[in-house]
Structure formats: C-alpha cells, structure tokens
Amino acid sequence: MPIVFSAIVPHLPMLVPTIGKENIKKLKATINAYEKLECDLYAAQTDTLLIISPHGQLQQNSFVINLSPSYDIDFEEFGDLSTKLSLAGDIGLGYKIRESLETKAPVQVISQTKLDHGSSIPVYLLTKHMPQIKIISLYPSGLDLNAHYNFGQLLKRELLINKNRVAIVASGDLSHRLTKNAPAGYSAKGKKFDNKLIEYLNQNKVKEILSMNQDFIKEASECGLKSIVLLLGILEGIEYQAQLLSYEFPFGVGYLTMNFKL
C-alpha cells in the first residue's frame, strides 16, 4: 500500500524542548500524541513524508510544491541556535506529482532549502529516528476548500501508482481565539469552530467540512483547515478510522493531533 500513514498535527514551536522549556509541561497531551505518531510513522516503514503546511510561500491561485534535493531545518527565529537537521527531498516523486497534476490543477514548483516552521516543527518531531526519510513539502493556496479537496484527490492517484511508501501529514492549528488572552483575541465562535471540525473529522463528515460557512471559518482564525481538507481529498475512497489523539489549548490556540488509521 503506497499511502501508509496520515495525520493532523499542530506546529507550535514550543513543542521543541529547547524552545518550549518549562512550557512543555502545559503541552503534555500534544507531546504524548506526537510520540505515538512518531512510533507509528517508524513502524510504517515510511520512505517519503509529504508535509502540507500553511506557512510556506503561498500563492493565491496556485498550489506550491517546494522541491529541493535537501531541506534544512533550524529554529533560529525562535531563539534556538543549536538545533540543525538536514533531510533529503524526494525529487523523483515530487516531479512525478508535478507532471501528472500540472494539466489538471494549478500547481507551481519552487525550490527552497529552508523549511517554514509549519513544515519543520512536525518533520523534526516525527522523524527523530528516521534520518533516511525523504521529504516533499507542499503548500495550500488561496483557492477555496473544494479546490483543496480536488487537488488532494488528484494527488492521491499519483501516490497510489507509485511504489514509495508515503506518509501524509497535514500541519495546522485550529482557532487562535479560544481564551481571553488568545493571540487573536477571544471569540465564542472559536471554540464552536474547533468542536464542529473535530466532530466532523471523527465522524468522517467531509461534505459538512467542505460546506462550513466562510465567515464562521474566518472568525475562528485558524491556520489548519486547508491542509486538513487537502489531506481528506487524498484519503477520499480509502478506508480509514479517525483517531483523536489530543486536543488542548493551553495558550488560547487549539492544538489538534489526530491519526487516520488506514
């Protein structure tokens, strides 16, 4: 089976122990969930990790594949000057994806060695024991949710005919408005959004997610929905079981970790 693992993960820098320091205690559920996913990813004998992040170089009308022979991970912008990691890119599979999709969907290829934090934090935490894993970095677009779902469906076809064992990780946080001191200020709709989304994901209600109200989504101030919808498009037609590993919001931002058991 070419798709061997899929999950939704948050990407706050504090999950990295050298950055989070004592704050890491407040993120226990998320840390435990990440550790479980790391074991599963290892056990799945993954060749390639496709990471979908909303914090790369985004284009309004086009999806972006960031393809580089190698990717550098560091956390200098978060004050950690010592952590450094370099992983290989899966150029072969990346170009095959581009070739098969370019006539069917708006897609651009760029080449940036340094990964954005939405990619680098999950990759760093999930691949600790897999230095040989290859990476493909993918960015959502300014297009609507349906376009992301369709793009995922097209991408899935290419992954299924490939022999690489691929893991898909949707990186993103939920509402940034869950408490009074939340980064985007408090809104009651924040919690409502998170609850609805988690409920729909648990029950595999894709249609309901795709038709969520635009103003409601905007009010929630999230950064993960498009990555998640793209992942759901990839999983369309594949049997899976959603498994909620953790959800917490110690700093007013919703951090969801969910495994899709294939």
**Phi, psi values for residue 141, rounded to 5°:** -125, -175
Q: Could you say whether residue 173 binds Zn ion (CB under 5 A)?
A: yes
x/- map, 192-211, Zn ion, by CB under 5 A = --------------------
Q: Could you say whether residue 234 binds Zn ion (CB under 5 A)?
A: no
CB 144 within 8 A of CB 218: no
Q: Could you say whether residue 116 binds Zn ion (CB under 5 A)?
A: no
Q: Which residue is nearest to Zn ion (CB)?
A: 223
Q: Nearer to Zn ion by C-beta: 134 or 177?
A: 177
User: What are the structure tokens assigned to 136, written together?
Assistant: 């493909």
- Residue corresponding to tokens 């079981």: 241
Please report how close the Cβ of residue 231 comes to Zn ion at its closest, in angstroms. 15
User: Helix 188-202 and helix 225-235: axis angle, to 10°?
Assistant: 10
Q: Could you say whether residue 222 binds Zn ion (CB under 5 A)?
A: no
x/- map, 125-164, Zn ion, by CB under 5 A = ----------------------------------------
CA distance 186 to 99: 44
# residues near Zn ion by CB under 5 A? 2
Q: Which of 223, 230, 253, 256 binds Zn ion (CB under 5 A)?
A: 223
Q: Could you say whether residue 14 binds Zn ion (CB under 5 A)?
A: no
The CA-to-CA distance between both ends of the chain, in Å, stands at 10
What's the sign of the alpha-carbon dihedral 219, 63, 162, 11? Answer: negative
User: What are the structure tokens assigned to 155, written together?
Assistant: 């991408």
CA distance 53 to 19: 20
Q: Nearer to Zn ion by C-beta: 9 or 167?
A: 9
- Residue corresponding to tokens 């940036």: 112
Q: Could you say whether residue 225 binds Zn ion (CB under 5 A)?
A: no
Please count the residues of the chain: 262
Please report how close the Cβ of residue 262 comes to Zn ion at its closest, in angstroms. 26
Q: Could you say whether residue 31 binds Zn ion (CB under 5 A)?
A: no
Count of C-beta atoms within a 10 Å radius of residue 60: 8
Q: Nearer to Zn ion by C-beta: 255 or 260?
A: 255
Q: Could you say whether residue 169 binds Zn ion (CB under 5 A)?
A: no
The footprint of Zn ion (CB under 5 A) covers 173, 223
